[in-house]
Chains A and B, each alone.
Chain A
Amino acid sequence: MIFTVRQIGRGIVRHRYRSILVGLIGALTVLLLAVYAGNMDSTDRQLKRLPEVMKVQAKVSNLNGSLEEGMTIREDRVQAIRASEHAKDVVFTVRLRLGLGSFTPQEYEGNLIYYGAGMNAIGGVPGLRTEEITFLDGVDEGVLETAEKVCIMDASLMEREGLHLGDEVMLTSFCYRYEGRTYEIFLDLLGTDTYRIIGAMRIGEYEGNWVPADVIFPLDCVREAYHRQGVEFMADSGSFVVKDPFRLNECKEEMNAIGMLPVISRADFSYDGNALTIMDETFIRSAEALEENLALLKGMLPFVAAIIVFIGYLCSYLSVQGRREEYALLRSLGTGRGQSFCLFFGEMMFVAAAACLVGSLAAGWLFHTGAGVLCRSGAAFFAAFLAGTAAALFSLHRLSVMEMLTRKD
């Protein structure tokens, strides 16, 4: 065993030029394979990460797409979209008008001076960031997902009215009613209720088209107020992110079933929020380009694999065949077939391993190829190389030693 190991080492040193040449060819092959496999891996990863990087946003609009807020989105559609397995980050809002204290519709003048909004996530107020809200201890924006009678109030309004976090405030609210036929907008009383102030907001840069809300309520809290008053609940705007853009068609089918139609630009104006604008063009273009690339790379795989196997196999095969005289001499001196095989195979295995290591390191250094890809590329070449070595040695086993050594050519 020690003799075999020592002879393997000596063989590598003695045949160093041949070993270096074969090793370099091997390293170059592994490098090319790693670059190819790395390219495929990177494209695959890009494709898988595409939904995170390029979110597909869907916005509820009216049928001709001219309105994205100030609409009437039916409660059944709101609830169906909120419950959909294809939607995430769902945000629905409903707009209100408010006044402090209790007053009748006839007393609106001088009282109905504030704007309110019901929503299930902070994202419903364009430009408002969570850091711009000071919450009561133990409370966060998740409260908007509940139906609790709480509110987030504009900080300057609180200062003017002498209100503080945790205070209870009585508010009379009115909801909007859009008259489709005459395009008139009416306000209907929703009632008077007491709400606990759980947050104070100081919005920096409002990005919406409408007047920013002075008070924000949880969406379901507002819905319940509608129900108590016997008014049909209608959301004012809605949006969501498609959970899995690779299942976009399933999502669209479900939305169709819910009653959300694709935008038809020729349609008449209406306040009815019954259409969906899905911003999927960029995603689809990018996904298709990546898929095309990946398909092309995968299509080349059999050829690349064949070339790698061919180079690995041929390189080692020729290298061993070039030493047939040495093999025959070893056998003639009394080295058994097994030991001769071990001597040559061990030497070639070391050369192949060194080639894989050098090729992998070069690929990692030059192209930042991942460890998994390097391992797979190295293993493919290593296997092909050793298969070539084994085949060459088995073919030598079949030849007559005397014939190899007495050949005069």
Chain B
Amino acid sequence: MEKMIEAVNVSYIYQTKYQKTKALSEVSCSFERGKVYAITGKSGSGKSTFLSLLAGLDVPTEGTLSIEGQDIRKMDRDAYRLNRASVIYQAFHLFPLLTVMENVMFPMELQHVARKEAKVRAQEYLRQVDLPETLYKKMPGMISGGEQQRVAIARAMAAGGEILLADEPTGNLDSQNEQVIVDLLCKLAHEKNYAVIVVTHNEAVAAAADVVYGMKDGELSVVRE
């Protein structure tokens, strides 16, 4: 299968006035469409830094990270996040003052999709993540954690990209909701052909992944392929 994302000898160094910290050390790997990837590792091992690079929020200090053959350094990374890659977080990070529906519509509005059209599409995405229609007009603070994470996934789908990056997506959920989210992520990869990359501590999430990488002290290794 065609490589969607490819990292070759990617290193990342945090540099302050007084010290340098190597957060990633010569990481090489690739990600394909239609698969779920899990990156496991302890806190501070460099998982989130790697996810940040994959999301185009930063660029590698050394090495090459390319998206479908294009170097991320030379890309319009804002447009990349807007149209191709979405991130979901452990703390959900929905806009607290927007309704569930408005949160899902937001990326489409950023893409200048007409409001009416955005609304129709948002309803469709919310249906796909099995969110009851009664919650559409509620504020995020009024719904459960599992429901909020489903809204975050619907919002990621609304952006219309093909890469879904997730940082501990089940970290704040109970086991029942955890399974729902894992199933959803797998469905996106296997049915919608997304490349889903999940950073997690959770073994159940890792078990559901097609490929598992381990991260230790900034170095990436294959755990299961």
Contacts and interface: CB of A to CB of B under 8 A. Distances in A.
Interface of A: 3, 14-15, 325-326, 329, 331-337, 400-402, 405-406, 408
Interface string B85-100: 0110111010101100
Nearest to A329: B93
5 contacts: A14-B98, A332-B87, A334-B79, A334-B80, A335-B78
B82 A333 contact: yes
A214 to B, nearest CB: 92
A408 B51 CA distance: 16
Contacts of A408: 90-91
Interface stretch (B30-38, B52-60, B127-135, B186-194): B52-60
Interface stretch (B66-74, B107-115, B177-185, B201-209): B107-115
Contacts of B51: 402
A15 B97 contact: yes
A332 B81 contact: yes
A400 B159 contact: no
B173 to A, nearest CB: 15
Contacts of A15: 97
Given A3-B112, A333-B110, A402 B78 contact: no
B125 interface: no
Interface size class of B (residues with CB under 8 A): 20 to 34
Interface of B: 48-49, 51-52, 55, 57-58, 78-83, 86-87, 89-91, 93, 95, 97-98, 106-107, 109-110, 112, 159, 167
Given A329-B93, A334-B81, A400-B58, 19 more contacts: A3-B109, A15-B97, A326-B95, A331-B57, A332-B81, A333-B106, A334-B78, A334-B83, A334-B107, A335-B78, A335-B82, A336-B78, A337-B78, A402-B49, A402-B52, A402-B58, A402-B167, A405-B87, A408-B91
A332 B97 contact: no
Nearest to B82: A334
A332 B106 contact: no
B14 to A, nearest CB: 9
B48 A333 contact: no
Nearest to B81: A334
B57 A401 contact: yes
A408 B91 CA distance: 8
Contacts of A326: 95
Contacts of A405: 87, 89, 91, 93, 167
A331 B90 CA distance: 17
Contact of B52 (A333, A334, A335, A400): A400
Contacts of B55: 332, 402
A333 B159 contact: yes
